[in-house]
C-alpha cells in the first residue's frame, strides 16, 4: 500500500492514492488553514470507520448474517495544546476515539455482537491504531535549482 502527499502552501496538502482523483487536505482557519478539505485527523477517523464497515460487510457475508445498513459515527478527542506544542505533557494526537455503530438487521442480537467482536479483532486500521506500528522516516534534502539571469 502506498500513497503520496505533496505540500502545496500554508496547511494545504494534495494526497494521491493510486489512480483516483487527488484529495485536498487542509486545516480550518482557526488552525491557519483555508478549510479546502478534510484535516488529516478527520481522514484518520474516516479511515477507521470505513475500514470497520468493510470488515462488518465482509464477515457478515461470510457468516450469512443479513445487514441492511451499517453506519459508524466516530469522534476523536484532541487537545490542541499538544498539537500546537503549548504543553509538552499533552500528546499531539487523539486522547480517545469513540465509535458509535448502528446496524440495521433482522438477526438476533447475539449474532450481531459476535460480528462486532470479529470486526474489533480483524479491522486492519483499528489494529494499527491500537497496537504500535514502527514508522521509519528517511529524509531527502534537496537544494533549490538556481536559474541564471541572462
Please give the average per-residue pLDDT across 133-147, as a whole number.
Answer: 94
The residue range of the domain holding 20 is 1-38
Q: Which of 137, 116, 113 is nearest to 126 (CA)?
A: 116
- According to the model, what pLDDT value does residue 88 have? 94
**In a shared domain, residues 25 and 43:** no
Which CATH number does the domain housing residue 76 bear?
3.30.300.20
What is the pLDDT, as a whole number, of residue 148?
A: 61
Q: Is residue 53 domain-shared with residue 117, that is, in the same domain?
A: yes
Q: Say if CB 20 and CB 3 are below 8 A apart.
A: no
**Distances from the Cα of 19 to the Cαs of 15, 16, 40, in angstroms?**
11, 8, 20
Same domain, 83 and 101: yes
Task: Assess contact for 40 and 25: CB atoms under 8 A.
Answer: yes
Distances 77 to 37, 98, 140, 148 between C-alpha atoms, Å: 20, 8, 33, 51
Q: What CA dihedral angle connects 32, 28, 16 and 146, to 10 degrees? A: -20
Q: What is the DSSP letter of 101?
A: E
pTM, two decimals, is 0.91
pLDDT single digits (tens) 84-125:
999 999 999 999 999 999 999 999 999 999 999 999 999 999
Do residues 37 and 47 make contact, with C-beta atoms less than 8 angstroms apart? no
Amino acid at each position: 500500500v502506498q500513497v503520496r502527499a505533496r505540500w502545496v502552501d500554508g496547511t494545504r496538502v494534495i494526497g494521491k492514492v493510486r489512480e483516483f482523483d487527488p484529495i485536498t487536505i487542509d486545516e480550518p482557519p482557526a488552525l491557519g488553514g483555508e478549510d479546502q478539505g478534510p484535516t488529516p485527523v478527520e481522514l484518520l477517523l474516516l479511515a477507521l470507520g470505513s475500514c470497520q464497515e468493510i470488515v462488518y460487510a465482509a464477515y457478515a457475508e461470510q457468516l450469512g448474517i443479513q445487514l441492511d445498513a451499517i453506519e459508524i459515527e466516530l469522534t476523536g478527542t484532541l487537545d490542541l495544546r499538544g498539537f500546537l506544542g503549548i504543553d509538552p505533557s499533552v500528546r499531539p494526537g487523539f486522547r480517545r476515539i469513540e465509535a458509535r455503530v448502528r446496524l440495521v438487521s433482522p438477526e438476533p442480537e447475539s449474532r450481531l455482537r459476535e460480528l462486532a467482536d470479529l470486526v474489533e479483532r480483524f479491522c486492519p486500521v483499528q489494529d494499527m491504531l491500537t497496537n504500535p506500528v514502527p514508522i521509519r522516516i528517511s529524509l531527502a534534502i534537496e537544494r533549490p535549482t538556481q536559474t541564471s539571469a541572462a
